[in-house]
Each structure stands twice: as C-alpha cells, then as structure tokens.
Amino acid sequence: MNALREYVFYCCVLLQPFPVPFLIWVLCSSVPTAPANAQIVHSGQACVVKEDNISERIYTIREGDTLVLQCLVKGHPRPQVRWTKTAGSASEKFQETSIFNETLRIERIQRVQGGRYYCKAENGVGVAAIKSIRVDVQYLDKPVLTVHQTLSDVRGTYYQEKTVFLRCTVNSNPPVRFIWKRGNQQIEQSKDNGVDIYEPLYTQGETKVLKLKNLRPQDFANYTCQVSVRNVCDIPDSSVTFLLTTATSPPALRLSVNDTPVVVDPGKNVTLTCEVTAGNPTPTVSWSRYPGPMPSRAQIRGGSLKLFSVTPADSGYYNCTAVNGVGNPAKRNVNLIVRAMKNLTFQITPDSNKDSESIQIGRDLKLSCHVDAQPLDKVVYTWFKNAVPVIPSDSLIVLRSDPDMPPGTSSLEIVDMKFRDQATYSCVASFPDSIVQELRVDVNITQSSVIPPVLTVPPGGAKVTVREGMWTDLVCLVDGKPRPPVLWSRADKDLPMPSGQWVMETRDGRLRLTNVSRDMAGTYRCQTAQYNGLNIKRREAQVQLDVQYAPIVDPVYQDVRTPGKQPVTLRCSVQKANPSSIAWISWLMNKNLIPNDPSNPQQMRINQLEPGKNGTYTCKINNGVGTSSCIFNVSARPYNPEFYYDTPNPIRILKDNNYSYNLQWTQREPAAVDKIIGYWINCRSISASMALRQTVISKQIPANDPQKGDLMSYLLTDLRIPLSYEVWLTAITMYGQGDTAYRTIQYSEPYTYLRPSDHVCGFEDERICGFTQDRSDVFDWTRQNQLSQNPKRSPNTGPDTDRSGTKEGYYMYIEASRPRLQDDKARLLSPLYNVSTKGPKGSNRMSYCISFFYHMRGKHIGSLNVLLRVKSIAMVDTLVWSLSGNQGPRWKQANFIVNPIGPFQVVFEGVRGTGYEGDIAIDDVSVTKGKCKQENSLSTTVLSGGPPLQRFLSPNTLLACVLASLRLFYR
C-alpha cells in the first residue's frame, strides 16, 4: 500500500505539465501528514565514522577539532529539534530550537565533551523521533617519566642490591602502545635478564614500568619512553627521555623562614625563598597559593617569591614544590598572615547568676570586648577605668580569653559592684609593634546610664501595605541605654532578605525596601542585637508586609477563529489579585467601548459572528491597584497554510535554462472556520531592485475542502535558473481571505550526495553540491558570478559569465593575483561516492564518466589537474586528467572514464602559473555511471533507489497512472 501510494504521488507530480483532470490533482493532495523522523549526519572534521557491533554510529574526532553534527529531519508540520548529550561529562543540554535541520557545532572539542549525542524531533504527530551518535574524542598527552629507587641491605655484608623503577604515565584515547629505549636501542624483556617491563595496578591513566634489577654499568644511560596511538586521527607519537647516572637523586628543599605562620604588617614587601639542597637532575621549583590564585603583584624568580605591598587579601598558604622526576616531589609551605583589625564591639552582662537585666549595686557585672582581626591570637586588649589602666584585683578580674564568649574576646569582671566601680571603662585592641591602628571603645557604667532596651512597633506599623514596584519602610523603634542595633530577618526561616542576606543590621530600626515585588510579601522579624548593648534576652517584634498588585488574568491573548454566522463566547478569568475585589470591568472592540452583561461582566457573548463584528476584543479588569487586560482576536479568517519542506526531489530542470518547483503544504486547523474553497498564490523573483523583480504567477487555485494533515501540491513552472523566488499562499473561504504564509524558494542543484546521478553541478547553491575545500592545500577555490565579480579584477583572464552565459550563474575559479605565488595549489574535493565496484557482466569494475567545463584564458595560465582519490586501506590520489597553458576565451568541455576500486572522490587541482593572468575556472561538473555520452542530458530525474524516469510519459503509462490513482482513491 505504501509503495503504491508513493508511486501515485510521483506519477501525479510528473503529470503536472499536462492538462490533467481535477480528480488527479485531488489524489495528489491526499498524502497524509507524516510523523517526525530524524537522521544525524556528520559534516565536521571526523577521522572515522563507523558502525559498531550494535549498529550504532561512532564518530571519531581529534581533540581540538570542530565537531559538526546535522539533524536531518523529516515530517510535517515542521518538527521541533532538540539536542541533548549523555555520558562523558555530566548530562548537559546544548540547545533547544525549532529551526529546521538544526546543526550542532562545537569549536575545539575537548575530551570531556565526548559521549552520546541525541537528536530529538517532535511535531505533535505520532511519537517523537530520536537518533543518537556516539562521539569518541581522540587525544594523546605528553607522557610523564618518573624514577624511583629502592635500597635494601641483606643482613651481614655479603652484598647490596640497588633497584631502579622508571615509571611512564600518559593519558590517551585510544590506549597507547609503549616502547622503551636505552639510547637508540629498543629494550625487549625477553632479550635482557636485567630488566622487567610490566603494568602496575591501581594507577590513573595508562602506566608502564621499566624495572632495572641490580644496576649494572650499562644501565646508566639515556632512557626514552615512546607512546603511540598508531597515528589515529593523524595524532603523532610522543616521547620523553631521562638520563640515569650514578648521581641521580630525588629533590630536597630548605625554606628561608623557620617560623610559620609569618605575620607581617600591611604595605610591607615579603620575600620567601625555597633553596634546593639536593637533587639530580636539577629540580624545577614552582610556587602556588591556597586558597585562590597568586596575587597580581607577585614576582617569581626561580625559587624566590616576592610579594609587594601586601594587603590582608594576600593572606594564605604559599606552597613551594621542587620536581626533577626522581622520587616524590619535595614540598614546603608557609602560612602568611597580614595583620588586620576591624569591628570592635562590646557587651554588658549583668549578674547572670541572679537573672538580672539591670545594673545593681552589690551584684556582679561583666564587660566584654571583641574585635575581628587576623591573627586573632596576636591581639592585645588593654582595659582602662576613667582613663587609668586597670590593675587586676579581687574585685576587678581581667579575662584575656573569655570562655563564655566567642574566641578572642577579652572580659573585665566587676565582682560585688560598689559605688566606686561606677565609671567610664575603655577597651583598647592593638597589635604590639605594628603599624595597624588600634581600636577603642568607651562604656559609661552607672545605674542611670545603663537601661534595658525596649523594642516597639509604631502605631499602625504592624502591617505595611505597598503597591508592587514602589518603596516602603519597615520600622521597629528601639530605646534603652546604650541603644543596641536592630537585626532584621524573615519570620519564615527558609526565606532570605530581599538583599539575599539572612540577617540585616540597622542602627535606627528602619528597614527600607525598594522596588517591592509580590514575593517580598510576608512577615519580617526585628530583634535587638546582643552586642553594643546589654547581653540579655533579646527583644523582638514582627511587621507584616502586604504587597498589592494588579489582577493576573487568563488568557492574556487568544486567537479565536470560528465559522461565520456562529455564536462566540469570550471570558476573561482572574487568577490572582491583591486586593481580590474587582473595582470595575470594561469591554472594548477595536478600542471602542461596548456594553457588557451586568450579571456576568467578565464574559462577552457575540450572538452571531458577522463581518462587522470581527476584530480585537479587549477586557480590562481593575482592582483599584492596577488594570490588566485579556485580548481576543476574533474572526472567521482561515489560519495560515504550513509549507511542507520534505518534498522528494521538488526541483525539475526544464528546457531553456528554466526549472520547476513542486510546492507542497498542509492547512492549519481547517475545521476551525468555514469550508476552504481555494488558495490565492503569488510568486515573484527576488532581486535587490524592485524594477527587476518578475512575477511568475498571481492567481486563485481551487481546493476541495482540505482536512487536517492533507498534503496539497502546486507545480510552479517557468522559474529561471539560478534565481530564487518569494511565494505568498493564502487560504480562501466564502468569508474571504485568511492569513498568509510566506516562503523563499532557493534554487539548489538536484544533486544526490554519495550517489552519482545524471544531474550536473553548476555551483548555483552556496552548498556547492557537497564539494569542499581541501584543508591541506595553499589556497581555496572561489565561487563567483558576473554580479559578484570585482570591478578591478585582472583583465584578460578568467570567464565573464558561467558556462550558460547568464550573469546570475555561478562557477568556481582560482584567483591568481597576489598574494599567490607560482605553483601554489588549490584543491576542490567532491563528495565521497560510496559506489559499487562491480561492473556489467564480464567486467570486474564499474565505469564512471567524469564530465565538466573548464575556462583557461590568460598568458600566465598554470595547470588544471583532475585526480581520483580512492579510499581503501590507504588514501591514494591518482592523476587522471591534466591540461596546462592558455586555452582561449571560451568554455570547453572535458569528459573521461574512470574505474575506481572502491569509494572515491574527484579532486580538482588548480596550479597557479607564473603571473596574475592565470585564473582557471570550472563549471557544470557531473559524475555518472557508465561510459561518457556525447553530451550530458539534463532532462532526466532519479527517484530514490529507482531508475531514471523520462519526463514525458507515453499514453499507456498515463492511463496506468490514472487507473492506479482511482484504485487508491476508492480503496
């Protein structure tokens, strides 16, 4: 059934130039919408593309090259394309797009980007199509060679054994082959009893060990570890060499500073030196820092590190490492701390044993002082009473590190407070013998100067209402002596403050919120801080923030299509609003106010859709804060057609340099409106000048009430090669015309990749029929026509037009002007032809005809060579045609036969001559099966997998086509 349907489809297409009955046209329109299907095609710098044992395609590429995967999608409506990746690194989504035939491109691919790539295509018809391809990234790092020595004494003094291990490690894909050499001689374990070559367990990467047992004099030599991935992806071999001598020894280091950490003042210069005390070969010294990178002002010279004008941000661990490939690296580190001090705070703690919240004579009192500093343990606190240093006694106790407070806190305890203890106490934090400025805080302690805090919310401030987008203040009033800061946070512990912080400090208890949004609504907590005040139970309060916003309505926009003379009901629903009560609702048609139903103001009913009632209906809903709108576009206009992009072989080449195009489409939601009776089609050529634009067709074509998914066709004729055209297509009902669909038709060569056909490549399409530039040549071929020629181009060389003589026609040529030099080569590669090598009965190979036109005018013409590149075990280029020197001002044809032994490419090689008058051009290239004809016919078409069909059918064939169409129609 499917085969018959396909046959009828092609038959109908070929019948279009004839005056066929309308029934046949309807049958051509009856092909249903197809579900999406996809195919992944590689077009990047692949080394190998093969099938593994589970029939999955594997794409092998070298690290650093460009990965290009194309998802060739079929199906209608046009499928949505999405690329995803798994394996290799963590799953990641590259892009999601609705662009047809989407290309995934990764520049300079890295090893972690290898894995399985999926192309998923969906169009809402049937199931989604998914194709995958595994990308294998090939790489070879430089190997690392390390030497390890083992010394062991046997009891007594009979002998001493010294064993050396040479360990060679490398990361690669695929696995490497190791070769060990002593000098220039390869080491083979079977021929030398003094060595052992093995692969250790539990190593990262690939490792091979060369064990030298009981060192002999000949073992002191140059050792080379050579690694190879057998030139896969043209990756060259790599090697590393080590000289083993009697003096070979691991590195040792000595640091210039003995004490760590090293504490310095800000602004100072610091020099750290790692001195190499042992090691052969001479170790290499490097510096690093943790955490973070080296400061920008750091200067490294050998084992010396110098830091200029250090700041607290330069603090950290500085690591010195010496490596010479022998044994383990030698490491030393130093902790550098740059002094800094900020945020000096105090706390007043009444007698905690009595649960007191105020100062009372006869009870204990504690004053605490804390500063944020580095290093914290080097801070010295000094206490003063009325500007006189405190002398510790039984009633005044100084705690250098208070265990009840955060680390680095100093406290002054006043035991059994007397009237004489009421005074001004000062705490001074400093670094002895440092330029860092000391910090000081003063606290006045009397019964009247220290009052517990009170936290209140001003009248009417417990709930704050604000409109979205505005600003507001949340206020908590704090009183007391001394008055502590107020800390703000969300009552919901899972929500941060609008600034992103969890807690915000305010000195006056006023929190300002700007650009308020609805997600800021909720309860906010204010509470007193326990520092810079009394260290007692916190006071707290809450403020409710209410954010008002305009209604959220549904739908925001809706396109309503309906048959004419039918009732229509529109409804605008409120999803959320604050306040929720509605102030007013109004309806407009085309911006004019219209009456609504008072009993149901959110609904508008159109009793009968007539031409005068088509238009834009707007429902505006206001809740006193703002207005939101539902917009309805109401009409009986048909939806736009949707063009079909997967028409097999839509282009047919006609006589007189013309071509036809089989335009196909489906109708979007045809049942939504009145019966579609036809389409208005317009087609005109594309040109930068309006005067040169040519209209090919502008008329109404019939349609027979198409259903959803029906594929309709129309054959556009009299299209001029190689011009492109704009097409407008509009559905028509008894109501009138609907929405218009637009499409650009671009002429492309009817050329089938990987299968030679009778078609000719004239390079009219930018894809140049799948030809590519050779990356290993000196320069490239250039695509050009008369309109794109440089007006200052070299005279007396090169063609004026392409072989057809039209100014729009393209050709390929080599530019011989500077900077080109004599004998520079440009090579153009054809697609790869995966063809059968079995010839006709009685012959061993299939013959192929290579035909093309060439233009070689100029006194400096070099050579045009054609090579046959056959891919088998090795890639071989064979010269099959060559011509040199000036051949005159006209295009000339060349054709010859080749008999390849396997898949092949045709290589056009242009060689620059002695001067700039040496442009060479080619055009109208074809590769066909069999022997060369006198001239290539352009009037045949190849169906996929089938024989050529002549354009004109005999009467018997025409009758058979009609009968098959009728059988399919009535079945």
**pLDDT tens for residues 183-230?**
999 999 888 888 999 988 766 668 999 999 888 899 999 999 999 998
Q: For all residues of the chain together, what is the average pLDDT?
A: 83
Q: Between 2-15 and 955-970, two packed helices, what is the crossing angle to 10 degrees?
A: 130
Question: Coil, strand, or helix at residue 278?
Answer: strand
Please report which confidence band the pLDDT of residue 41 belongs to, taking 50, 70 and 90 as the band edges.
low
Does 66 or 97 have the greater pLDDT score?
66
Q: Which amino acid is at 813?
A: Y
Handedness of CA 340, 341, 343, 347 (dihedral sign): positive
Give the distance from CA 31 to its chain's centroid: 39
Over residues 899-929, the pLDDT tens digits come to 888 778 899 999 999 999 999 999 999 888 8
Question: Coil, strand, or helix at residue 786?
Answer: helix
pLDDT-wise least confident of 188-192, 232-236, 458-462, 871-875? 871-875
pTM for the model stands at 0.59
714 has which bridge partners? 663
Give the distance from CA 568 to its chain's centroid: 46
C-alpha span between 625 and 695 (Å, rounded):
55
How many residues are there in the chain? 971
The tokens for 255 are 């640091």
Mean pLDDT, to the nearest integer, of 665-680?
A: 93
C-alpha span between 310 and 307 (Å, rounded):
6
Over residues 493-539, the pLDDT tens digits come to 889 999 999 999 998 899 999 999 999 999 999 999 989 989 999 99
Percent of the chain with pLDDT over 70: 84
Please report which confidence band the pLDDT of residue 733 belongs to, taking 50, 70 and 90 as the band edges.
very high
pLDDT of residue 159: 36
C-alpha span between 711 and 290 (Å, rounded):
67
Cα–Cα separations (whole angstroms), residue 9 to 649, 882, 968: 12, 45, 11
Smallest CA-to-CA distance from 664 within 711, 623, 626 is with 711
- DSSP letter for 611, please: G
The tokens for 626 are 């703002």
Smallest CA-to-CA distance from 825 within 777, 772, 789 is with 777
The Cβ-side half-sphere exposure at 505, using a 13 Å CA radius, reads: 7
The DSSP secondary structure of 398-421, one letter per residue, reads: EESS-TTSSTTEEEEEE-S--GGG
Query: Is residue 90 over pLDDT 70?
Result: no
Helix (H) or strand (E) run with residue 2 in it: helix 2-15
